[in-house]
Amino acid sequence: MKRNRGGLFRGSRRFLAIARVLTKFGLADLNARWFSRNAKEDDAPPAGGAGTTLRIPSPARLRAALQELGPSFIKLGQLMSTRADVFPPEYIEAFRKLQDSVPPFSFEQARQLVEKELKQPLARVFTDFDPQPLGAASVAQVHRARLHSGEEVAVKIIRPGIERIIQEDIRLMYYFAAKLEKMFDVARLLGAVNLVREFERTIFRELDMYIEAGSIEKFQGYFKDSDEIHIPDIHWDYTTRSILVMEHVAGVKMDDVAGIVAYGIEPREIAMIGLRSFSRQLMEFGYFHADPHPANTIVMPDGRVGLVDFGITGYIDDEMMRQIAHLFLGYAEHDYDMVMEALENAGLVDARTVDLEAFRGDLKDISEPFYGRALQTIAVREVYDQVIGLVLKHHIRMPRNLLLLFKTFVQAEALGKILNSDANILEVTRPYAENLVKKGYDTHKLLKNIGRETRTMGQYMRRVPHYVNEILRQASRGDYQLEFRHRGFENFDRKMERGINRLTVGAIISASTIAAALILNSDKSVMEFKLDILGLGSHSLSVTALLGIAGYSIATILGIWLIFSIFRSGKL
Per the DSSP assignment, residues forming a β-bridge with 531 are 539
Q: Which of 205, 198, 201 is nearest to 83 (CA)?
A: 198
Nearest C-alpha neighbor of 308 from the set 241, 229, 412: 229
Q: How far apart are the first and last CA of the chain?
A: 72
CA distances to 533, 547, 557, 565 from 552, rounded to whole Å, are 21, 9, 9, 20
> 268 near 422, Cβ under 8 Å?
yes
Give just the sign of the alpha carbon dihedral 34, 38, 42, 43: negative
Amino acid at 235: H
Give residue 10's identity as a one-letter amino acid code. Answer: R
Comparing C-alpha atoms, which of 41, 395, 45 is closest to residue 189? 395
Smallest Cα–Cα separation from 78: which of 412, 400, 415? 400
Count of C-beta atoms within a 10 Å radius of residue 242: 21
Strands 287-289 and 229-230: unpaired
Q: Provide the greatest CA pair distance for the chain.
A: 144
Confirm if 268 and 220 have CB atoms less than 8 A apart: no
Q: Among candidates 398, 415, 178, 161, which has minimal Cα distance to 275?
A: 415
Note the helical H segments in 184-253: 185-190, 192-206, 209-222
Ramachandran class of 537: left when φ > 0, alpha when ψ lies in -120 to 50, beta otherwise: left
How far apart are alpha carbons 355 and 177 in whole angstroms? 32
Amino acid at site 276: R
Q: How many CB atoms lie within 10 A of CB 273?
A: 21
Residue 239 CB burial class (10 angstroms; 0-12, 13-18, ≥19): buried
Taking the C-alpha atoms of residue 428 and residue 308, their distance in angstroms, rounded to an integer, is 23
Distance CA(432)–CA(427), nearest Å, equals: 10
Q: How many whole angstroms separate alpha carbon 273 and alpha carbon 303?
A: 10
For residue 50, the number of C-alpha atoms closer than 13 Å in the C-beta half-sphere is: 4
Give the number of residues written for the chain: 572
User: Over the Cα atoms of the chain, what is R_g?
Assistant: 40
User: What is the b/e burial string over 302-317, where b = at least 16 CB atoms within 10 angstroms of the residue's CB?
Assistant: ebbbbbbbbbbbbebe
The dihedral formed by the CA atoms of 106, 109, 110 and 113, expressed in degrees to the nearest 10: -170
Buried b (16+ CB within 10 A) or exposed e, 507-524: eebeebbebbeebeeeee
Quick check: is 43 catalytic?
Answer: no
- At residue 63's C-alpha, the angle toward residues 59 and 64, to 5°, is 120
Active site residue: 130, 185, 227, 291, which one? 291
Q: What is the set of active-site residues?
A: 291
